Each structure stands twice: as structure tokens, then as C-alpha cells.
Amino acid sequence: MLHRRLLRLATAAAGPVLVCAALGLLLSAASLAQAIALARALGHLFAGGDGTDAAIGALAWAAAFMVVRAALLRLDAPLRARCGAEVRARLRDRLVARLGELGPAYAAGARAGRVQNTLVAGVEGLDAYYTRYLPQLLVVATAPAAIVGWLATVHAPGAAVLACAVAIAVVVPRFWDATLLRRGRARWAGMSRLSAEYLEATQAIPTLRVLGAGRRVGARLAERADRLYRDTMAQLRVSLVESGISALAVHGGTAATLAVVAGAALNGGLTPGDAFLFLLCARESFRPLTDLSAAWHAGYLGLTAVDEIEDLFAAVPAVTDRGERRPPPCQPPPDVRFEGVTFTHPGGSAHPALDSATLRCPPGALIGVVGASGAGKSTLADLLARHHDPDAGRVLLAGHPLPEYRLADLRATVTVVHQEPHLFHASVADNIRLARPDATDEQVRRAAGLAGADAFIGRLPSGYRTVLGERGSTLSGGQRQRIALARAFLGTAPVLVLDEATSHLDRETERAVTEALTSAPELAWRTRLVIAHRLDTVRHADLIAVLDRGRVVESGDHEHLMRRDGAYRALVHRQRGPGPSAERADPPRPEAHR
Ligand SMILES: Nc1ncnc2c1ncn2[C@@H]1O[C@H](COP(=O)(O)OP(=O)(O)OP(=O)(O)O)[C@@H](O)[C@H]1O
């Protein structure tokens, strides 16, 4: 139960642990004082004669300690609850900060349900470990030894028997710990797996329905839930054996101590008062152990969750944050360069996602990136946001390699809008204000207007105050993309990357967004990298780069590339069909984009 990682984490909760331990010790001291006063009262009553007054005095003391103990007990639950809340908040802060450090590279490999289970149930379990088990362990380490030591000054043989009984009650149940822990870990792993699968199935209900796979997935979940039930029962059986042995040691130890003490009292080696002292204090020396046993069961969930928490802390972030360079100035906006960049996603295919890719985005230019699916376009965006570092080559911002900047500064400089943006269960306005919480209503409207979102937001039940469903589930794909674009347009990052960010928009809206990108004063000054499948989206870019299997195979503006019989022209023909009619169908070129 004294896990290295849990003890290291205890530094985050040292205050609450010590407060709970101090309360536990005070409770033990009050119980012991009450027991001693009661034993003295019984001793005086047993002695009879003029001991009655002394017995009344001792009873008064016992009553006083009882009141103190009751007051401490009254304090116990709220204090532990408050300490527990503090422990949970501190641990979750640390875990969430850790998840932030690990970034999207970790999230891509982890199952959301498992992480959620660790953050919710795991932390709940650790709360009991820190506010009940560890403090009680400190009480067990001090109180029984102190009581037995003191009793040894009264009657050494009786104290020796009591010491043996306490040792047995502490040590013997520990033989079951390993088994219990093994079963607990199996149960926790099952619970995490089940959480992950339930979360996935809940999110996939529409897909499961249309594919008629609901029953099959439901049966698999039921089978997993049944296995979890069986694991829980197996664990409970071992746990009951362990509790039984603890109880046996406590009661057997008390009986053995009393037998020795009663024998001594009958032989005249011990006064009745001292015999009562043993009777009541033996109980008090075992009380911390029985409390520890109860705390063990409460805190043990945390112990079984510790593996996943440990995994989280042991995971190595995909990138380090050691840069110290000042962020690049916004005006003029920084240029971006990819120099011979090679990168293979961890666990991805053997072929690198980017293979000696070289590309320059001059300050304030609009660069289009096109290529077939899987060509490596999004990987460019990932590397520019520094979710990963290249295996070879460099990505430079304003002439300096990205690792020279602090991650926070880099992320304030480069904004990426993804194809499937994440919207929060919050109002439309709050979603748009994510990167710039102090933006005025007017600025929010303007950004939404540039993203082609103002009109549809106006038709929502409460306009900009409409609260969205989780992950924007109450909006269409195109509406979600428009809100994400508005969010990025409202921000002030001088480098803007749109990674298929307009793919769900109808052509007309997409054209309006493209035009805003080239002509709106809020956007046209920035260095813009637009990744697109639809070639119309990037047709007016200052430079278009064509990616093919991780390599930049061609670059130039639209006219230049169309004059060559290369990859770009092949893409154009594949997308629209050959012939001059396709060319005529293109929109007039906006004047301001240059
Ligand atoms: N997280 C990942 N783990 C492993 N491999 C990945 C990961 N992300 C991308 N890849 C691989 O890297 C290669 C390039 O992917 P990338 O997403 O950059 O292509 P893309 O050009 O953006 O494709 P699309 O147009 O379909 O979005 C692909 O072979 C893909 O399988």
C-alpha cells in the first residue's frame, strides 16, 4: 500500500494528509483518555469503601473525554471531506497539466474513456488513499506502540501478549495484499476498458444504428460488464478473507491478553483497576488497526488506479519546452520555412509522412498546400504547431527553429483550424471567444461575418447566446467549421493555418471565406497556410505547393503550375475533368489578395 509513486504524489497533498493524521491522533488520544478514566472509575468502584468519590471524579473525566471525542468525531467527516476535495483538485490539476504537456501526440494514442476513468474514478480513489489510509497509517505507526509501551510499565507479560496480538493483526493480513492487489488491478483494467468502450459506443450510436451493429456492440459490452462483475466478486472474496483474519487477530489478541491479565489479577499480581485498564486499553490499541482496515478498502481503489496514473506521468512528451527566445513580432508577420523535413508518425506506416519536404511561406503570404489523401498535408500543420519535432530537417519561424521558442509563445503565434474542430458545450459567443476572451460583441460578430457564420448564428434560438451541444453536436459539420474559423479569425495569431477547414462548406460560403482570407484587413496581413483538397480553395494563393507521398514535388502560382504538365495540372484535371470549360467556371480573381 506504500506505493512509491503515490508517496511522491503525496507531496501534492501533504497538508491535507497531515491535517487528517493530526485529527486521527487526537481522536486516538481522546479515546485512550476516556478508556483510562473509565478504567480508573471501575477500579475505584470495584475496590468499594471510600473509593466512590474518586470513582465519580473519574467518571466525570470519562464523560468530559467522551464529549471531546464526540466533538472531534463531529469535526472528522467535514474536515476529511474538505481535505478530500483539496486533494482531488490538486491531483486533477497535476494530471490535467500533465496531459497538456503530453499534448495531442499522447491523446492520439490513448483511449479517451481510459484517460477519463483515470481522471475521475482514479482520482476519487486516491482521495480516500490520502485522506483516510495514509493518515490512519501514521496513527497506526504511533498509537498502538505508545499504548502497549505504556501498559508494559503496568504489567509486562500482559503487554507482551498484547504486542504479539497487535503485530499479528498488522502483519498476517498483509499476506493477502499481493493477491488482493493483483485482482484489484485486473478489475481496474476491466473497468477502464469498459469505460473506454462505453464512451466510444455512446459517441458512435448514429454510426452503429445505420450499420445495424448496435446489438453486436451491445452484446460485447454486456459480456465485458459481466466479466467486470466476476472480477469484482473475486476481489471481494479475497477481501473478506483478509477482513476476517484481521478481526480474528483483534478479538483473539484481546481475549489472550485478558486471559493473562485476569490470571495475574486472580493471583494478586495486578489490582482490579489495572486489570480494567488492560481490558479497555487493549481495545484502544486495536482500534487504529480496525480503522486502518476500513480505510484500506476505501483507499485501495486509488492503489489499483495508480498504474494508469503512473503511465501518464512516465509518458515522455513528444516535444520538450526548453526554448527561451522571445516570440517573433506580429508586424511584419513571421515567415515560415520547412527545410528538408522528414517525419514518420510514431506507430505509423514505414513510409515517412514527410520526406525531405522543403517549403517557404514568406511573411504575409498566402500559401496553398494540395495533394492526394495521405500525402502529408496535415503533418505539415502538426509540425508547424510543434505537436511533434521532425526526425530530420528543421521548421523555422521568423528564421529560427521552432524549439527555440517557448511552446506557449509558439502557440500564440500559430493558430491551426482543423477539419473536425472541437466545440465546447458553451454559448456560441464563448466558443468564438476561446482565444480572445476580452473581445467585444462587435469583434465577435465581425469574425463570424468573415467566417460566413453570422447569418446562421442569427437564426439560432438565442443567437450568439445559444448553448451548443457537446462537441457542437447541435450544429451541422459546415456550421461547426464556420464557428471554428470565426474563433481563429478573432484571434490575433500572425500565422494562420487552415487544415481542410472549409471542406464541409458549400462552394458559395467557401468562396466568401477564401475572399475574406485574401482581402479582409483582419486576415490579409497574416502569413496564411491553406491546406485543401478542393483546388478552388487555393487557386488564388501566392504560391501553391503540391505534396506527393511526403515530398513537395511542385510549387508556383496557379497559372505557372497550369502551364506545366505536372502533378498540379493532373490534380486539376482529375478534380474537374479536362477542358477549358472548367477554367471558365472559376470565379473572378479577387484583386486584394496580393
Ligand atoms: N497520428 C498518426 N499516427 C500514425 N500515422 C499517421 C498519423 N497521422 C497521419 N499518419 C500517417 O501519415 C501520413 C500522412 O498523413 P496526413 O494526415 O498528413 O495526410 P494528409 O495529406 O493530410 O491526408 P488527408 O488529405 O487525407 O487529410 C499517412 O500515411 C497517415 O497514415
CATH number at residue 395: 3.40.50.300
- Within-domain flag for 490: yes
Strands 392-397 and 495-499: unpaired
Q: Which domain holds residue 252?
A: 4-314
Query: pTM value?
Result: 0.68
Bin 509: left if φ > 0, else alpha if -120 < ψ < 50, else beta: alpha
Say whether both 175 and 296 belong to one domain.
yes
Say whether both 301 and 341 belong to one domain.
no
Say whether both 169 and 71 belong to one domain.
yes
Say whether both 282 and 342 belong to one domain.
no
Say whether both 169 and 118 belong to one domain.
yes
CA 237 to chain centre: 32
- Within-domain flag for 394: yes
What interhelical angle do 156-171 and 272-314 show, nearest 10? 30
For ligand 1, whether the C-beta of 373 sits within 6 Å is yes
For residue 481, the CA-to-ligand 1 centroid distance in Å is 20
For ligand 1, whether the C-beta of 348 sits within 6 Å is yes
Going from the first residue of the chain to its last (594 residues), give the mean pLDDT of each consecutive group of 10, the final group possibly shorter: 68 78 89 88 77 82 91 86 82 84 73 74 79 85 89 87 86 79 80 82 81 86 89 83 81 86 82 84 85 75 73 82 85 92 85 91 92 90 92 94 92 90 90 90 93 89 88 83 93 92 84 88 90 84 91 88 82 67 42 38
Say whether both 422 and 558 belong to one domain.
yes
Domain boundary among 314, 348, 365: 314
- Within-domain flag for 592: no
**In the block, residue with C-alpha cell 493524521:** 21
**In the block, residue with C-alpha cell 493477502:** 176
Ligand 1 atom having least distance to the Cα of 371? 21
What interhelical angle do 134-154 and 272-314 show, nearest 10? 160
Say whether both 395 and 494 belong to one domain.
yes
Say whether both 465 and 553 belong to one domain.
yes
For residue 575, the CA-to-ligand 1 centroid distance in Å is 21
Nearest one of 128, 238, 131, 135 to 181, comparing CA atoms: 238
Name the grid cell of 72: 472531534
Residue 586: per-residue pLDDT: 45
Say whether both 251 and 119 belong to one domain.
yes
For ligand 1, whether the C-beta of 108 sits within 6 Å is yes
DSSP string, 16-84: HHHHHHHHHHHHHHHHHHHHHHHHHHHHHHHH-GGGHHHHHHHHHHHHHHHHHHHHHHHHHHHHHHHHH
- Within-domain flag for 324: no
- Within-domain flag for 73: yes
- Number of domain units in the chain: 2
CATH number at residue 63: 1.20.1560.10
Residue 591: per-residue pLDDT: 41
For ligand 1, whether the C-beta of 107 sits within 6 Å is no
- Within-domain flag for 326: no
- Within-domain flag for 504: yes
Which amino acid, 84?
G
Say whether both 303 and 355 belong to one domain.
no
For residue 303, the CA-to-ligand 1 centroid distance in Å is 38
Closest residue by Cα to atom 14, ligand 1, is 376
Say whether both 277 and 341 belong to one domain.
no
Say whether both 220 and 184 belong to one domain.
yes
Which amino acid, 323?
G
Closest residue by Cα to atom 5, ligand 1, is 348
Give the up-direction half-sphere exposure of residue 471: CA atoms within 13 A in the CB hemisphere. 5
For ligand 1, whether the C-beta of 371 sits within 6 Å is yes
Residue 502: per-residue pLDDT: 83
Residue 44: per-residue pLDDT: 82
